[in-house]
Amino acid sequence: MSTPVLEHPRESDRLDPAAFADAAASERDVAPLRAAIDRSCRGPVLWFFGSAVTWLIIGTVFALLASIKLHTPTFLGSAAWLTFGRVRPAHLDVVAFGWSAMAGLGCLIWLMCRLCRVPLRYPGVLVAAAVLWNVGVASGVTAVLAGYSTGVEWVEFPTWCAFILFIGFALVGLWGMMTFAGRRAGHVYVSQWYLFAVIFWFPWVYASVQILVLVSPVKGVTQESIHWWFGHNVLGVFFTPIGLATIYYLIPKVIGRPIHSYYLSILGFWSLALFYNWAGAHHLVSGPIPAWLVTVSAVCSMMMFIPVTTTAINHHMTMRGHFGVLRYSPTLRFVVFGAMTYTVVSFQGSLMSIRILNEPFHFTHHTIAHAHLGLYGFYTMVMFGAMYYIVPRLTGREWASSKLIRTHFWATAIGITAMFLLLSVGGMIQGFEMNHAARPLGELVKEKGLLDGTGEFFKGFKMKNGAVPFLAIVRDTIPWLWIRSGTGVLMFVGHVAFAVLMLLNLTGRGPKRQGPTLFSKDTDGYQRAFGSEESPAHTH
Amino acid sequence: MNHGPLIFLGAFLTFASAWLGLVFFPNQQLKDLQPQAVEGSAMVNPRPYTARELAGRDVYVAEGCSYCHTQQVRGGEYNADLQRGWGPRRSDPQDYVHDNPVLLGTMRTGPDLVNVGARFTGEAGTRWHYLHLFNPQRVSPGSTMAPFRFLFETRKVVGEPAADALRFPADWTAADGAPEAGHEVVPTDRARALVAYLAALDRTYEIAKK
């Protein structure tokens, strides 16, 4: 394994989450502490994880309904509360604020305790936060289905529901700061930088959008700049940092090697902090907002190549020589799938913010495919991996069935890959047809007097000069939407498998921990995959 | 060395810069935007919404119309928004000064609507909208728009038929929702308000040179 050349003896400590030089002694010293930390985390983290998985199932049902209604609008078409315009935001908000947020907060709590090396204190605060969060999401989704959405995408919950979520988040944030203040002396690992960024940044963006767009709205289109600053930052300063913090912790843990480079982690963190925040207006390319705003967001979106490449190099170089472990470890497989997808989806996103590449794909299913690749292909898969690692450590029981884990992995991995690729094709067809005109704009300006302000708007105009009539675009998109529903069913199967595994584990049906539940029973191969050296972390 | 306070300061500054760039400065630039006066009259463009139109806007929001329809014309060389007849010019920030919240939209499963009130006008336009909302598939074959039959009421005709009862074409059957003899389909208040709002979506006025 390549180690960076470092002068100071303690520099090497910084790379290893365990932060001890003597492997054997370290395991003896730290294992009881680790066990105590895990035991103390049990209540709060399982509250968050259990709630998250429940919301995942509900959110996937809403997803299937929305997907079906896009190609078969008359499906359950008479129920007002299930109309597409309500069930689609219900899906988004449940998978974002129900599943993703609660999975992430559960990880945040456990990672904070492990990295501060102190058992969890004030569990009641965190359980209260989980309860409040569940109340906020449940009431918010009910309101949306009942017709009380605010109409602002990602912020559809009425403000009083958002306020409940805000209190829940604040409790977790305060707990995080108190835990950090009480940490055992030592270096602050890269994961914690990301988690702190979440604790400080997310409340700020959430409060800003609530106040400036809903409660006391600013005038006009500035609302949309703030709106999408928030919308992009839900990924940028909530889910992505938690996902990255989790990857940075779990890859070294599972393979028993430190992260390749501390300095790359620093570069990755700060360049993300600087650029990700500015990217929001790439949701409004060619929109009725100042051009400088779109340009600056496009530039910073492209600059995101820096943190994403940095992180990719760091993760890859850490994994190098250990890809064999992917055959065995569910945690590692989900996490590495997510980490690789993070690179792909971020590169795609950066490119999509350039005007000429944005024009054909804006407003199409291509964007939806991209969004799912990020929130599902990256973040959700990392969260699955995290739960596979963390839950047995909290309950003392391993997973009941490696067959169900295999079902979960393949159903979701194939599902999201197929969904992304095929829905992107559908979106490209939609976009190219929508943007292709029968006659060039210049000709129409001369003939109809458009743009120069002198002609009267020609009312009978529609569809004569678009090469493809709008209903033909709809017709051409439908087969791809059917395929997407199919991939959604596959992902749902994976989720059910996972929910069953969680239920079995939480209700005490699973082997007591001897070692991890692996994909394969080939334990000799598993040992060989780690190479010849023993290392502390591989005992899991 | 304790990096905590330094990290905090760095995180604050990077984040605050984006707040300035995406929240504060755009607001400074656009907060004084006013509708423009129409020469020789008391009107302004865009004109403020009436109470009924605002109620209709609430229906548009509640039913999630934004998830399939945008309200922004892009203009420019690389798309066909103008050629499709969605407007005589690209949309301008001034077009949205009365909107709370602004509903630019992000998907075009259906066409852009910011000028739909200029494409469907008067009573003919209103009647088209009622039929289309009631059964989109019958009015626009191949459409995947959600049916909004729940915005309408089928009832027995008492005395005179209602003035805005839906006028079904002769070839609509009971399966399409045409009422049986002696019955009529009337829009609920929500449907009336929604269609009033759609009729108010007209931003085809010329932007005055400043």
The DSSP symbol for B156 reads: E
* Backbone dihedral angles phi then psi of residue B82, each to the nearest 5 degrees: -70, -40
Q: What is the pLDDT of residues B141-192, one digit of tens each?
A: 999 999 999 999 999 999 999 999 999 999 999 999 999 999 999 999 999 9
Q: What share of chain B has pLDDT > 90, as a percent? A: 80
pLDDT at A444: 63
For residue A192 the two structure tokens come to 């914690």
- Does residue B125 form part of some domain? yes
In whole angstroms, what is the distance from residue A409 CA to residue A394 CA? 22
End-to-end CA distance of chain A: 20
pLDDT at A460: 36
Cβ-defined contacts of B169-178 (< 8 Å, 24+):
B172/B135, B172/B138, B176/B135, B176/B138, B177/B134, B177/B135, B177/B138, B177/B149
User: Which residue among A213, A435, A471 places its CB closest to the CB of B80?
Assistant: A435
pLDDT at B94: 95
In whole angstroms, what is the distance from residue B178 CA to residue B166 CA? 9
**Number of C-beta neighbours around residue A217 at 10 A:** 17
In whole angstroms, what is the distance from residue A353 CA to residue A362 CA? 10
In whole angstroms, what is the distance from residue A103 CA to residue A95 CA? 10
- Does residue B167 form part of some domain? yes
Amino acid letter, A24: A
CA-based nearest distance A301→chain B, Å: 13
Q: Tell me whether residue A1 is exposed, middle or buried, using C-beta atoms within 10 angstroms of its C-beta: 0 to 12, 13 to 18, 19 or more.
A: middle
In whole angstroms, what is the distance from residue A182 CA to residue A59 CA? 37
Chain A residues 265-324 with CB within 8 Å of chain B = 270, 273-274, 277-278, 280-281, 283-284, 286-290, 293, 296-297
Q: Which residues pair with A431 in a beta bridge?
A: none
User: Which residue among A274, A465, A470 places its CB closest to the CB of B111?
Assistant: A470
Query: At which residue do the structure tokens 């609920």 appear?
Result: B188
- Does residue B210 form part of some domain? no
CA-based nearest distance A452→chain B, Å: 9
- Does residue B11 form part of some domain? no
Q: Which residue of A has its CA nearest to B67?
A: A85
Question: Which domains are seen in chain A, by residue range?
Answer: 14-539 (1.20.210.10)
Q: Which CATH number fits the domain that encloses residue B68? A: 1.10.760.10
Q: Do residues B83 and A447 make contact, with C-beta atoms less than 8 angstroms apart? A: no
In whole angstroms, what is the distance from residue A202 CA to residue A97 CA? 13
pLDDT at A80: 96
For residue B146 the two structure tokens come to 């959600």
- Does residue B21 form part of some domain? no
Give B-chain residues touching A288 at CB under 8 angstroms: 72, 90-93, 95-96, 104
- Does residue B110 form part of some domain? yes
Half-sphere exposure of A80 (CA within 13 A, CB side): 15
Residue B113 belongs to domain spanning: 46-200
Give A-chain residues touching B3 at CB under 8 angstroms: 188
Average pLDDT over residues B112-128: 94
Residues 6+ apart with CB under 8 A from A162: A136, A140, A155, A206, A210
In whole angstroms, what is the distance from residue A539 CA to residue A378 CA? 27
Q: Which residues pair with B45 in a beta bridge?
A: B36
For the four alpha carbons of A371, A377, A380 and A386, in that order, the dihedral sign comes to negative
pTM for the full model? 0.91
For residue A452 the two structure tokens come to 């120069």
For residue A116 the two structure tokens come to 């501060």
The DSSP symbol for B35 reads: P
Q: Do residues A114 and A32 make contact, with C-beta atoms less than 8 angstroms apart? A: no
Half-sphere exposure of A245 (CA within 13 A, CB side): 29
Per-residue pLDDT of chain A (540 residues; tens, 9 = 90+): 334 433 333 444 444 555 444 445 556 678 899 999 999 999 999 999 999 999 999 999 999 999 999 999 999 999 999 999 999 999 999 999 999 999 999 999 999 999 999 999 999 999 999 999 999 999 999 999 999 999 999 999 999 999 999 999 999 999 999 999 999 877 889 999 999 989 999 999 999 999 999 999 999 999 999 999 999 999 999 999 999 999 999 999 999 999 999 999 999 999 999 999 999 999 999 999 999 999 999 999 999 999 999 999 999 999 999 999 999 999 999 999 999 999 999 999 999 999 888 988 999 999 999 999 999 999 999 999 999 999 999 999 999 999 999 999 999 999 999 999 999 999 999 999 998 876 666 666 666 555 433 334 443 344 455 568 889 999 999 999 999 999 999 999 999 999 999 999 999 887 776 677 887 766 677 767 765 333 334 333
**Number of C-beta neighbours around residue B39 at 10 A:** 7
Q: Which residue of A has its CA nearest to B28?
A: A222
Whether a cis peptide bond, with omega within 30° of 0, leads into B101 is yes
pLDDT at A448: 57
Half-sphere exposure of A288 (CA within 13 A, CB side): 24
Q: Which residues pair with B154 in a beta bridge?
A: B185
* Backbone dihedral angles phi then psi of residue B92, each to the nearest 5 degrees: -125, 150
Whether a cis peptide bond, with omega within 30° of 0, leads into B46 is yes
Contact A359 B74 (CB under 8 A): yes
Number of domains in chain B: 1
